[in-house]
Structure 1
């Protein structure tokens, strides 16, 4: 491997490259756009485009692409070469400012949720100068936004940038009240990406993994994760080789890959980066998922990013670590040594608490997918009830604000482990709560509900905009106050009192929590069809339109897209199950029972009773009949989808199709443990999870 500082960002048109390739005036204009969000003049774009092209060609690039994130949630790109014909049959390599700033991909085949019809094909990509261009696979990638011919937003990046502007504007208003002239406030994000690695040979024999990303059938292996020996365990050489190449590829692209380790489940791992600006973090995470899959293939592996690829063991999440800070580097969620006396911190903390309570439905919606529904509430993920963990110290501070009592100083002692050779270590003022969906972890919040395949933009759009709204309300009130300090104290006390129901430091897995949450009036939206109708509620439409993040039609389109995606996912899964049952599992069971029956008949012909074999044959025969019934019931359910609206269709899949799928799985898994291994038509969990 190359020298890491030299390797890092070597394929990125970053600040260092810009300084050497751009005239000073152009560099300064571009930097102002990147840091302050000001518009970029056309002549500046032309100079940047030419410099970008020259640099890319030096690096071996022959093509460029506008790289964007449509509502599919995955990356999209259309490649064009730098080649331009000239007289005499020759060519030159050109790249104009117009080509840099604007592209025209076909918009008709991307999800639009009714914003565009198939015959309305024109769409535009627009350069996002706040995110660095980079080179991958001999192509210059230009991060862009994506919109329709009529201006509706068709991507995930544009609303994220709008939400970042919204929270910046409102936070700057609040900071001004504290005597701070801040030009811009930024939200930062760090995404802990969980994933599975399995052998490509096993993957190729599992149609369910190929078509749906998860195993639709599979009996539990004799060993799962109960020994708790995989978490943070020694990394196998084959996986370590994958991680080493992954790091190198990510570092080239300026992605701050920092931490890697084994996760709880067999074959499960995690990669986590250093924090960066929210839109950059989203771009980097999208690239990370793509590169994980590509690198895995080169090692004879397949990277699974589904939220629940294997039943009975941990699924994979993507913890969204979120914070907010100024352009000068001040973390606005840092409580300092005396949080009870840190008025600015308490105000921003109050805004987050109020936002999570007021818009708990939006946070649940931001992680609502068919795959994540399998994960939420299981032992590796928080429940579907949104709540906040603030820790013992902050809980005591907030309680004192509500009651007016003096808050005792936090215990900031050091722990002596009892071994002379080991140093004493600082003791945190509170424990961690891994069951909490939204936990304060020192100077940031960790939102643990997002699924591993999720594009993080939606989660951060919701969070940024909700907090922006609360800051707006706070700024309006405090700007009009005659006595700022008195008004501030009363505002914090009032809002903490009103929203303390959202704070829960207990066990989110406990049976008593859903009962308690219901008493508090918290939502428990267990499935995607239950959650998504809240998307376009009156209060949520008012929120996004007020801050110019979404128009009402853009919100309706996203609700429609999410509902359609849910229904299509379950339809594909259902059809795949039927296909596997009809073509693989049922024939295998018939064949096996036939072999056993033949053996019984042969033994009886020579006077040997075989009661155990006869019983097994009868059990497999009966189980095969049940599988046929399950296949028929699932086919009937899939053919009975109502012609109603998207909510009705998604609800039908959830309530009518999904239960039939679960019955078919249970019947198949019961047969898997009876049919001989040589006769079972696909790799089992033991094969997949314990490859060498």
Structure 2
């Protein structure tokens, strides 16, 4: 209790440090979205500075989230020179509100030329400032948005804040039609579960692929993987427990309510999950969680891997995005209640979400796309690359009733009898869970399970907020004109339940039958990131985002260019790393092994001409054949990588990297991994899967 939020300039600190009028004015901006008075900013800045200095801070930074996928910061000292050659510690409202980082050196998709550098960061007062401690150095971090000199958003935060406002505006319209006059804002909330791997730092430093790409480009499967299912929820070792405790302390100081931690399915894999909070704050928190997981790992001689598929053959890592919507006075609009069939307001918002996900499934799929997730989606631990919604028995039954004229009952969970007298009778939920569904209703929220572990949750939540804002606005448009509200609502819900039934699926999302069924239903199946990216430029997408003021056409074009560029650059880095390791580490080790075999055969034959050396000869033949295959594939990868770099069209280049370069990388790996299975362990130049996954 003493440390939670100790490093956050939170509401309690503001109430204590600010004059009452300043505090009220700032709260009005935060709670109601009113314009911030510059005079208020000056008072807040001075109080924030005094608080941070008391914590040991000497510098401040505008902490922002450019389109690189990580955070960015430029540190400035509080010092200001005086005439007598000394300094005073100052921090003005202007410095609090606005910063000026270089906007041309971050991804901008052509919005800014390299010679046009100016950009701005703007204080997001809805997300509290905090101090961060790094090896004894304390810095005041101010969450900000980031835009170009010409006003376009160049970050993850700005569209998120816009989407939250759009959702609130449309949802309030709908709530007024249901007679709610007390709620003034509707807020999207998120609780993101974060999966990650830990390996010993000594192994990491010997793997160029992990250092440069975040995943293993080579590695034969370990004799043991996750098939015994003994890692999931297993006992946590002392070393990892100590690491987790340090992570928790760091996060609690930052006001991040880290709640759950456990071993995940794959060996070396773990999960951490916080309690729900407002979406933009949850997004900031998740960025801090990822940074903290990596920073603290180093203290413990570990490295935290956030790549979606750092190890082939075992589960990858995702980030389950648990999303809901609530009013500012505490009403969860996705809470069914005990009798959801009678809860017309809940059913309306539920139908709005169903309609939104069906009509904009490609956009939602894109929001969960990156090169790492292309390895993961559709595998055993992840949903397929087909968007569908799981509702469970209770709500699926109600949707069926809606289609047939109107709901009259709700399936109830009842009690669960375990059969042991000393164990309590447990209340049974009205529906089971479905871990194969990419978008599942889980009680009073939707769990979007496709999100990649390394990705900012901003993108998926921008899409969720915006597409639901759109369907809610269409529903409100229609009901505001209703002559008979109840009759028109009943007809509207029946229409949505009927027209969008194709998106509902409660079965096994991993099965081949579902892929065939989804195709018959006409559901999009975007198998890779490259296939999903053009969704940004569809007329439907542009109209959606411009209507709700989330992203304009220029901003969407920039993101299209950035996404393609980042995809191609990522695969190019992996290809060059593959070549480097294959040529300079694996091939020499394999040749040395073959040479040793040949020397062994000659030595034995020289000592005893009649000696049986067929085993050595067979091994030499196998090694020589694999060495030849490896060299041929290396040469092929060099050729296609060079060809990819010569393709000028961004989309065509990305397709070439996916179809040619990535495929050839796999061929190089196949030969190398087979060699790992026969080459002397003492000669193999890089740590193996057995070592990295099981020696902690």
Please report the TM-score for the alignment, with normalisation by the length of structure 2: 0.98
Q: Is the 8 A contact 1:7 1:252 kept in 2?
A: yes
Structure 1 gaps of 5+ residues are none
The correspondence of residues 406-485 of structure 1 with structure 2, limited to 5 A, is: 407-485=408-486
The correspondence of residues 184-223 of structure 1 with structure 2, limited to 5 A, is: 184-223=185-224
The correspondence of residues 481-500 of structure 1 with structure 2, limited to 5 A, is: 481-500=482-501
Q: Shift in Å at residue 407 of structure 1?
A: 4.4
Q: Is the 8 A contact 2:124 2:145 kept in 1?
A: yes
Partner of 1:180: helix, strand, or coil? Answer: coil
Q: Is the 8 A contact 1:396 1:407 kept in 2?
A: no
Partner of 1:303: helix, strand, or coil? Answer: strand
Q: Is the 8 A contact 2:58 2:139 kept in 1?
A: yes
Aligned partner of 2:255 in structure 1 is 254
1:67 aligns with 2:63: yes
Aligned partner of 1:616 in structure 2 is 619
Could you give the per-residue CA deviations for residues 384-411 of structure 1, whole angstroms, max 9, x where no partner exists?
Answer: 0000000000000000110126544413
Aligned partner of 1:162 in structure 2 is 162
Aligned partner of 2:690 in structure 1 is 686
Q: Shift in Å at residue 643 of structure 1?
A: 2.5
Which whole-Å CA distance do the structure 2 matches of 1:682 and 1:427 have between them? Answer: 50
Partner of 1:240: helix, strand, or coil? Answer: helix
Aligned partner of 1:47 in structure 2 is 43
Aligned partner of 2:634 in structure 1 is 631
Partner of 1:62: helix, strand, or coil? Answer: strand
Stretch moving more, 316-325 or 591-600: 591-600
Which whole-Å CA distance do the structure 1 matches of 2:70 and 2:434 have between them? Answer: 31
Which whole-Å CA distance do the structure 1 matches of 2:676 and 2:562 have between them? Answer: 37
The 3 A distance-change label for structure 1 pair 691 and 25 is same
Q: Shift in Å at residue 534 of structure 1?
A: 1.3
Could you give the per-residue CA deviations for residues 122-153 of structure 1, whole angstroms, max 9, x where no partner exists?
Answer: 00000000000000021000000000111111
Q: Is the 8 A contact 1:334 1:442 kept in 2?
A: yes
Q: Is the 8 A contact 2:413 2:431 kept in 1?
A: no
Which whole-Å CA distance do the structure 2 matches of 1:127 and 1:354 have between them? Answer: 35
Aligned partner of 1:175 in structure 2 is 175
Q: Is the 8 A contact 1:324 1:332 kept in 2?
A: yes
Which whole-Å CA distance do the structure 2 matches of 1:186 and 1:411 have between them? Answer: 29
Which whole-Å CA distance do the structure 2 matches of 1:404 and 1:480 have between them? Answer: 22
1:646 aligns with 2:650: yes
Which whole-Å CA distance do the structure 2 matches of 1:269 and 1:33 have between them? Answer: 39
Could you give the per-residue CA deviations for residues 602-641 of structure 1, whole angstroms, max 9, x where no partner exists?
Answer: 1111112211011101111111111000100001110112
The 3 A distance-change label for structure 1 pair 406 and 290 is closer
Could you give the per-residue CA deviations for residues 23-53 of structure 1, whole angstroms, max 9, x where no partner exists?
Answer: 0000011111111111110000000000000
Partner of 1:288: helix, strand, or coil? Answer: helix
Q: Which of 16, 19, 26 is the aligned partner of 1:30?
A: 26
Which whole-Å CA distance do the structure 2 matches of 1:383 and 1:236 have between them? Answer: 33
Stretch moving more, 139-148 or 408-417: 408-417
Q: Which of 665, 674, 677 is the aligned partner of 2:678?
A: 674
Which whole-Å CA distance do the structure 1 matches of 2:39 and 2:178 have between them? Answer: 40
Which whole-Å CA distance do the structure 1 matches of 2:301 and 2:444 have between them? Answer: 40
The correspondence of residues 109-188 of structure 1 with structure 2, limited to 5 A, is: 109-137=105-133, 138-181=138-181, 182-188=183-189
Which whole-Å CA distance do the structure 2 matches of 1:454 and 1:347 have between them? Answer: 31
1:508 aligns with 2:509: yes
Which whole-Å CA distance do the structure 2 matches of 1:454 and 1:409 have between them? Answer: 38
Aligned partner of 1:602 in structure 2 is 603
Which whole-Å CA distance do the structure 2 matches of 1:108 and 1:474 have between them? Answer: 42
Q: Shift in Å at residue 208 of structure 1?
A: 0.4
Aligned partner of 1:89 in structure 2 is 85
Aligned partner of 1:568 in structure 2 is 569
